[in-house]
Amino acid sequence: MSTTPVPPFVPEERDPTHVEPAVGYRSREPVWVYRHGQWHAGAVEGASPIAVMVTYQRQGMRGTVVDTVPAECLVRREEAQPAGGER
């Protein structure tokens, strides 16, 4: 479960100086992904100097989506720790 609220902005409204470079994201890191006009909870699969591959589930849809997105479309997300300690 995510403890970081859905970002209150769209990527076009972001200050470019506050966008972390794509290479700063790590595999399995939880993120918010902006696609199809809304933010989705997702996870990083991998990153390159110019883009990040992510997996996420679209609200109201079955299955997951794997997509490559620019860093402007990502925000780090924190997840609640499961009861009983660390993962």
CA pair distance 58, 41, nearest whole angstrom: 9
- Does residue 55 come out as left (phi exceeding 0), alpha (psi in the -120 to 50 range) or beta? beta
Domain containing residue 29: CATH number: 2.30.30
pTM for this one? 0.85
Note the pLDDT tens digit of each residue in 14-57: 999 999 999 999 999 999 999 999 999 999 999 999 999 999 99
> Does residue 19 contact residue 71 with C-beta atoms inside 8 Å?
yes
Question: Distances in Å between the alpha carbon of 14 and those of 6, 19, 48, 49, 62?
Answer: 14, 7, 21, 19, 30
Note the pLDDT tens digit of each residue in 55-67: 999 888 889 999 9
Does a structural domain hold residue 70?
Answer: yes
Domain enclosing residue 19, as ranges: 11-76
CA pair distance 9, 12, nearest whole angstrom: 8
